[in-house]
Amino acid sequence: MLRASRIGLLSTRYEIARDGATLCTWKPSAFFGGGSFVLEGRRYDVARGGWSWRRYRLLDESGELLAMADAVGRGEWTLETGGHTYSFERQSLIRSEHVLIQDDAVAGSVRRISTWRGEAEADLPGLPLPVQVFVLVSLLAVWDEE
């Protein structure tokens, strides 16, 4: 399970950890709504776009598209990676929790634990680690705008 914690009360940066060990730091861009992180020595960029500004793309160091998430944060949204399309659903308008649906069953989730401290968790088994971080930081970007 991944856990994101804001670095400082007023910071926009997040530390992403797994089992208490820091994996990377999410550094959002001040101007374009994306950002970057370095994971296991490799840099990844997250770009934001689309007509609704809710489309996020994960790019590796060479600029290759690894994943794309569309309509992030809406009631239903999708993730495309590795030739597969995954569906996410927002569980409630009140709670900040999105679940990964596979074969009509919940297979994982991302949820905001604390808005005040800026904490969130992601449990997305089966997805590559960079894609798990990508899903988590994309939702953090949406939540921080709301």
List, for residues 80-139, the tens digit of each pLDDT value.
999 999 999 998 777 789 999 998 899 999 999 987 677 999 999 999 999 999 999 999
Three-state DSSP class for residue 53:
coil
Query: Taking all residues of the chain, what is their mean pLDDT, rounded to a whole number?
Result: 91
What is the reported pTM?
0.93
- In the chain, the percentage of residues whose pLDDT exceeds 70 is 97
Residue 39 near residue 130 (C-beta atoms within 8 A): yes
Residue 96 pLDDT: 84
Categorize the per-residue pLDDT at 52 as very low, low, confident or very high, splitting at 50, 70 and 90.
low
Number of CB atoms found within 10 A of residue 84's CB: 10
